[in-house]
Amino acid sequence: MDTSNYIAIYLPIFIVVLMAAYAAYDGMIWHVIRMKKRRKGVAVMSEALLQFVGKECVVVTASSLGGGSIAGVVKAVDGNWMTVESKNKTNMVNTDFIMRIQEKKR
């Protein structure tokens, strides 16, 4: 085979591979941008939850089982997780799934 056949066969394959690599790279860039925006929201959520530390609260969560609520004292908020201690157990709640938190009146 002469060089014109190699060019005719392998150049389109090379272009398709480069286009696929660029699309993957572009998708990765957008993923990183979305993650940075999301982290800013996590920081705001953590700051808002800090006001409930040490208080007895009811935490309403969204779960695959139709939602649920956890009643107890909020012990700590660390990043994306909140520790809620009830009478006989300790729960770790992912703050992404918190729908509502309400302080209990004593």
How far are the Cα atoms of 2, 40, 64, 76 from residue 71, in angstroms, in the given order? 77, 28, 19, 14
Please name the residue ranges forming H helices in 1-106. Answer: 3-49
Report the amino acid identity of residue 58.
V
Domains of the chain, with CATH numbers?
1-106 (2.30.30.100)
| Tokens read off for 90 | 């300790």
Residue range 12-58, pLDDT digits in tens: 898 988 888 887 777 777 777 777 776 666 666 778 889 999 999 99
The answer, yes or no, to whether residue 9 has pLDDT greater than 70, is: yes
Rounded Cα gap, residues 65 and 60, in angstroms: 13
Q: Is the pTM of this model over 0.75?
A: no
Q: How does 46-65 read in b/e, with b if 16+ C-beta sit within 10 Å?
A: beebeebeeebbebebeeee
